Amino acid sequence: MTELHNQADNDIVKLYDNVKIEDGNKTIFCDSLFFDTEKDKIELLGRVSINNGNQIITSTKGRLDNKNEKITLLSNSTVEDKNQKIEGDLIEIIFDKSEIISLEVLENGSIFLKTLGMKR
């Protein structure tokens, strides 16, 4: 289901029910999303999964800021690649194309190194 609303001169696109979006090098899945086309920002809600080819990113809620290439994961979040798994309740990720250039775990974080079997 898709809706288009005009709220205070902002175009908001609302998508519901098993949403899949191809965004450059990222494939995004979620239960629903709200896309502010003027600000180029997306709210991702429910079973969020982002695959950029190198990592799989999951959360129950997130925000994608396309102008600044920033993803904010807001609840029960993981970032996993072949070497490590990072978990946290608030994670900010900065991308350059499909590569993560900065990742900060701001709340309740842990890192599991797959090669050493260690948790930090």
Distance, CA of 70 to CA of 16 (rounded, Å):
23
Express each pLDDT in 58-113 by its tens digit.
Answer: 999 999 998 898 999 999 999 999 889 999 999 999 988 767 899 999 998 998 88
| CA–CA distances in Å: residue 99 to residues 9, 53, 81 | 33, 9, 12
Q: Write 20-23 long-range contacts (CB < 8 A, 24+).
A: 23/64, 23/66
Write out the two tokens for 74.
């807001």
> Tens digit of pLDDT for each residue in 4-38?
444 444 588 898 888 998 877 789 999 999 999 98
In the chain, the amino acid numbered 67 is K
Question: What is the count of structural domains for the chain?
Answer: 1
- What was the pLDDT predicted at 120? 53
Answer whether residue 3 shows pLDDT above 80.
Answer: no
Residue 119: the pLDDT is 55
For the domain that residue 59 is a member of, what is the CATH number? Answer: 2.60.450.10
What residues make up the domain containing 115? 2-119
114, pLDDT greater than 50: yes
Check pLDDT > 80 for residue 1: no
> What is the pTM for the complete model shown?
0.80
Residue 2 has pLDDT above 70, yes or no: no
93 contacts: CB under 8 Å, gap ≥ 6: 57, 70, 71, 72, 73, 79, 100, 102, 103, 104
Q: What average pLDDT does the segment 34-57 reach? A: 91
Residues found in the chain: 120
